Structure 1
Amino acid sequence: MDAGDPAWWQTGVIYQIYPRSFQDSNGDGIGDLPGILARLDHLVALGVEAVWISPIYPSPMADFGYDVSDYRGVDPRFGTLDDLDRLIAAAHARGLRIILDYVPNHSSDRHPWFVESRSSRSSPKRDWYVWRDPGPGGGPPSNWLSEFGGPAWTFDEPTGQYYYHAYLREQPDLNWRHPEVRDAMLDVLRFWFDRGVDGMRVDAIHHLIEDEALRDNPPDPAWRTGQSPARAVIRAHTMDQPEVHDAIAAMRRVADAYDGRVLIGEAYLPIDRLMAYYGRDLSGFHLPFNFHLLSTPWTPAAIAALVRAYEAALPPGGWPNWVLGNHDRSRLVSRLGAEQARVAAMLLLTLRGTPTLYQGEEIGMRDVPIPPDRVQDPWERNVPGLGLGRDPVRTPMPWAPGPGGGFTEGEPWLPLGPADPGLTVAAQAADPGSLLSLYRALLRLRRGEPALSAGAVAIVEADEAVLAYERTHAGRRLLVALNFSARTATPPLTRAGRLLLSSRTEANGAGAEGPGLALAPHEGVVVAIG
């Protein structure tokens, strides 16, 4: 590759796998690494470049793998290290990259480090975690709240101190101010890069370091009953602290010692604060996750404003990225409806930057109602009745009709939801008008058009119905026009162009289009105009 060529993580598309729900290979109802290996050809046919696998490390599963008890192993539920090695080799043989989750903010309370840290105040690893004496009156040292409900401090009776946990009490926070902690966690990165992993998605990075003085978080006057209890305070002293960027730069130095590795950071932050996560002189994350499409109103004007603001805020050389779904947020079809989910696919895969696609979005999976006796998510269990649970978006992938949906021969760990003959990979792969066929066509077009994968972007129009923008590269001009309305609309095509792709299957193959091109309700098109 020439020095001026974009990296694979710039032109490619990342596909997120939630391993518990992708494919079960042994009938225990839980997806696993051999199951992922068995379904790699689906990802090749889809046309993605990289596979991000949510945590597969040994874990008590208090938070389904985000409570790590061994950073260098594989939980037996998912397989073995040999299974992972086989998966990496098979993926690489197919031209796919493997990205793992890296969970630096906290470990499990059963990790040997914490077990030793908890053993006594004089333990050599005591300061590997955040321990503090009780506050005045004997209560917690500060008013900090757990993201999953309740105080963020748990009292340890034998040693007479509290330990801090941004999430569950079973997930004590590591003390990244301690040089031995930093060295140990950087060695974890080296371990996986040495094993052939192509990148890391870094979990909850904005929580990595807390205010050393333990100042109380101020109350949030906008908070109302019915919202997440954790949002009752403004997390001014527990999130996005300045020292986090030194830690990220250290991670980046490790990644840069290997060829072609990528670091992706999870941080739900306003655009201006998110930009700092690229690092000074791009010494931070290659891709700080941009989640703003998840919360932006679904209108042409709002999305155009977001694109302009985000593009304008990027540091020189910073590469954009876009997300429309993940394992924590309601699914696209449930948020937008089936018709606009096709428009959303067009948007995600034609904006400038690296898209991340969550498993099941390519077939239009919906949120699945979870009966109370089947709830698994600790957030929902801790704060019931507020609809905060993430189980509805983590249900198993329906591969084929019939019991178990082709996912398992046993009882699935979460229900698959109502049977829908059209909502399976097998059915949609055979249907040229399906959402899966649209995703495949979009990814094929993206691979064949440098203007889509690497070109510049400029908003052309954003009215009450239509969002239109141009993608340009080396003299090639493409117009993307998306109809957000239920009525026919006219895109801003001022001269003849050639239709490359429509979200309506019946419209494809139409060839040349004139200035009077009409968009059907809920239609998106890509038109070559130069």
Structure 2
Amino acid sequence: MEKKWWQKEVIYQIYPKSFYDSNNDGIGDIKGITQKLDYLQSLGITMVWICPIYKSPMADNGYDISDYYQLNPEFGEMSDLDELIEKAKVKGIKVVLDLVINHTSDEHPWFQDLLQNPNTSQYRDYYILKTGENGQPPTNWRSVFGGSVWEPLPNTDEYYFHSFDVKQPDLNWENKEVREELYKMVNYWLEKGIAGFRVDAITFIKKDQNYDNLRPDGVDGLVKCTKKARNQPGIEEFLHELNDETFSKYNCVTIGEAPGVPYEQYGDYIGDNGYFSMIFDFRYADLDVASGSEWFRRIDWNVLDLKKLIFTSQKEIQKAGWGANFLENHDQNRSISKYIKEEENRNFYSATMLGAMFFFLRGTPFIYQGQEIGMTNFERKNIEEFDDISSIDQYYRSMKEGFSEEEALHFINLRSRDNSRTPFHWNNKQFGGFSEVKPWLGMNENYTTINVEQQKQDPNSILQFYKEMIQVRQSSEASECLIYGEIEPILEDHPTIVAYKRKYRNEEVVCYFNFSSEDQKVELEHSNFNVLLNNYETLSEQISSLKPYQALILQKKEAGYNE
């Protein structure tokens, strides 16, 4: 395997609105990120991915862009970003931005011109317009955020298409002019000095051009648009062109958000001539719901189910190329609240076990802000407390599907994207040290006990474990094996232990993770080993069992090796 610079990175995802508020307006900003670079450097981070900071009316918190070349004033000015890129570089930290090119905001000048001149606008073909029939939308497709994908274009008999929110009209990728405008913009940002992009919702850019109806799958009479508007045949032409006209001209990293791609197509996405450096696989992240976009269709799962999804993903990615490993992101709930079912077991041991289990998988690890201190889900008492448009849609859809108001609220408390968007916990002062004024989104009230300042002073904290974990991957004697080594699952039938080997040349590291609140007997692969990482302070001479939620990373010694 040819080594790539981005394989060694440890990437930290920042949701800027909730990271740190430098000017005390209740909203996190770019200067706030700059002021926390020392923290990120001390953690061991080598790259930050910043969620959208472009100009936006913030209907979907920045994923609705009204100007690709300007920053949203609430985040700061372009000079602030330039300063961040430069100061981060000095500290050995690269900057990656979000790239949102499936859709714009309805407040983008292109769409505004279309609204004002629906019949004569030069941007008519920049968006997807279709005529309705008998006062009905062109098709019965449901948007990801609920309701029809079609919205009437005012003062016409036409509708415009939106895969997501009504304020996020999809761009018409069939139009070469649109594509060229986007490529020009992508190259502008790469020239500015960013290290690359996380590419948002990219598998939605190609639609089935037949635009026909399907059998409804909900009581609303609609059907998920993903069947007709995600990962459609012909998308490969767009993705090849995007790569040729932009990414391939730079030594940049690209991380594709590519849901819906079958494993047999992974080689096209991340192979030697793939469209992206790596992609996220969401199958294990969505194991608790029947569909990532339908939270009320709950699935009961066990450790074997989780293990199968993770190892299938790892095997398929390993065959094709390189993966992006994550536990949390801005669209997911908090991992300790999801993967550790009993609240009484959500503690230092389970949080560190989870962290290490994903961190040493093959691929580039991503850490989402707050994960490194064990931030948890919140519980909101009524729908008015939610900001996330997806959560609000799921609440009302749940009740339409026959669930009670109480059940609907329970579902969205479990899966709401607001879970990961609550302001970061820097200390135990009012508003968690995030701001001196009331934040834009309600705080998780446990900031008084879960925060950076407290954990920095505790040598046995989740934060300190994350620092040690990162150091083991990045600069221990087993570093090459843990970064570049192949992965081989072991104990695949064990009901509560997840375990795997990492193998590189003559090196071997074996990783054990106990997902149980009880001791679990285990026969080790090797009797001669170095302990690289252990979330318990002591280890017996002869290991015959794993303690509750223990994480154990062992490096095999060469035969005849002496300390």
Q: TM-score, normalised by structure 2?
A: 0.86
Give per-residue Cα distances to partners, 1:288-311, cap 9 Å, x unaligned: 211223134775533443344234
SS of the equivalent of 1:293 reads: coil
- Residue type of the alignment partner of 1:342: T
What residue is the counterpart of 1:124 in the other structure? Answer: 122
SS of the equivalent of 1:52 reads: strand
Correspondences of 1:374-385 after superposition (within 5 Å): 374-385=385-396
1:392 aligned onto 2:412: no
Q: Is the 8 A contact 1:21 1:396 kept in 2?
A: yes
- Please report how far the alpha carbon of residue 373 of structure 1 lies from its aligned counterpart in structure 2 after TM superposition: 3.5
* Distance of aligned partners of 1:299 and 1:498 in 2 relative to their CA distance in 1, 3 Å threshold: farther
Give per-residue Cα distances to partners, 1:429-454, cap 9 Å, x unaligned: 11111111111111000002111111
Give the distance between the partners of 2:186 and 2:315, measured in 1 at CA.
32
Using the TM superposition, name which of 237-246 and 386-395 deviates more: 386-395
Correspondences of 1:476-487 after superposition (within 5 Å): 476-487=507-518
- Please report how far the alpha carbon of residue 186 of structure 1 lies from its aligned counterpart in structure 2 after TM superposition: 0.8
Give per-residue Cα distances to partners, 1:369-417, cap 9 Å, x unaligned: 3354432222233443541642222100010111121110111011112
Q: Is the 8 A contact 2:16 2:51 kept in 1?
A: yes
* Distance of aligned partners of 1:68 and 1:334 in 2 relative to their CA distance in 1, 3 Å threshold: same
Q: Is the 8 A contact 1:13 1:49 kept in 2?
A: yes
**1:439 maps to which of 447, 466, 471:** 466
**2:226 maps to which of 225, 235, 242:** 235
- Residue type of the alignment partner of 1:125: Y
Q: Is the 8 A contact 1:189 1:254 kept in 2?
A: no
Give the distance between the partners of 2:314 and 2:448, measured in 1 at CA.
41
SS of the equivalent of 1:325 reads: coil
What residue is the counterpart of 2:70 in the other structure? Answer: 73
**1:313 maps to which of 311, 316, 319:** 316
Give the distance between the partners of 1:464 and 1:255, measured in 2 at CA.
46
- Residue type of the alignment partner of 2:232: Q
When the two chains are superposed, the root-mean-square deviation of aligned CA atoms in Å is 2.2
Give the distance between the partners of 1:181 and 1:270, measured in 2 at CA.
24
Q: Is the 8 A contact 1:12 1:453 kept in 2?
A: no
**1:499 maps to which of 531, 546, 552:** 531
- Please report how far the alpha carbon of residue 471 of structure 1 lies from its aligned counterpart in structure 2 after TM superposition: 1.1
Give the distance between the partners of 1:233 and 1:195, measured in 2 at CA.
38
- Please report how far the alpha carbon of residue 465 of structure 1 lies from its aligned counterpart in structure 2 after TM superposition: 2.6
Give the distance between the partners of 2:280 and 2:447, measured in 1 at CA.
33
Correspondences of 1:333-348 after superposition (within 5 Å): 333-335=336-338, 336=340, 337-338=346-347, 339-348=349-358
Give the distance between the partners of 1:436 and 1:457, measured in 2 at CA.
26
Gaps of 5+ in 2: 289-300, 341-345, 397-407, 558-563
What residue is the counterpart of 1:409 in the other structure? Answer: 436
Correspondences of 1:457-476 after superposition (within 5 Å): 457-462=487-492, 463-476=494-507
* Distance of aligned partners of 1:107 and 1:175 in 2 relative to their CA distance in 1, 3 Å threshold: same
- Please report how far the alpha carbon of residue 143 of structure 1 lies from its aligned counterpart in structure 2 after TM superposition: 0.8
Correspondences of 1:106-505 after superposition (within 5 Å): 106-118=103-115, 119-135=117-133, 137-220=134-217, 232-233=223-224, 235-269=226-260, 271-272=262-263, 275=266, 278=269, 281-296=272-287, 299-314=302-317, 318-335=321-338, 336=340, 337-338=346-347, 339-370=349-380, 371-385=382-396, 386=408, 387=412, 389-448=416-475, 449-462=479-492, 463-493=494-524, 494-504=526-536
- Residue type of the alignment partner of 1:182: R
- Please report how far the alpha carbon of residue 340 of structure 1 lies from its aligned counterpart in structure 2 after TM superposition: 2.6
- Residue type of the alignment partner of 1:129: Y
* Distance of aligned partners of 1:333 and 1:283 in 2 relative to their CA distance in 1, 3 Å threshold: closer
* Distance of aligned partners of 1:513 and 1:232 in 2 relative to their CA distance in 1, 3 Å threshold: farther
Gaps of 5+ in 1: none
Q: TM-score, normalised by structure 1?
A: 0.92
- Residue type of the alignment partner of 2:461: S
- Please report how far the alpha carbon of residue 219 of structure 1 lies from its aligned counterpart in structure 2 after TM superposition: 2.9
Aligned residues: 515
Q: Is the 8 A contact 1:399 1:426 kept in 2?
A: yes
Give the distance between the partners of 1:112 and 1:82, measured in 2 at CA.
24
* Distance of aligned partners of 1:279 and 1:473 in 2 relative to their CA distance in 1, 3 Å threshold: closer
- Residue type of the alignment partner of 2:353: V
Using the TM superposition, name which of 173-182 and 390-399 deviates more: 390-399
Q: Is the 8 A contact 1:343 1:522 kept in 2?
A: yes
* Distance of aligned partners of 1:329 and 1:351 in 2 relative to their CA distance in 1, 3 Å threshold: same
- Residue type of the alignment partner of 2:419: P
Give the distance between the partners of 2:449 and 2:271, measured in 1 at CA.
49
- Please report how far the alpha carbon of residue 182 of structure 1 lies from its aligned counterpart in structure 2 after TM superposition: 0.2
* Distance of aligned partners of 1:432 and 1:280 in 2 relative to their CA distance in 1, 3 Å threshold: closer
Percentage identity across paired residues of the two chains: 34
Using the TM superposition, name which of 274-283 and 460-469 deviates more: 274-283
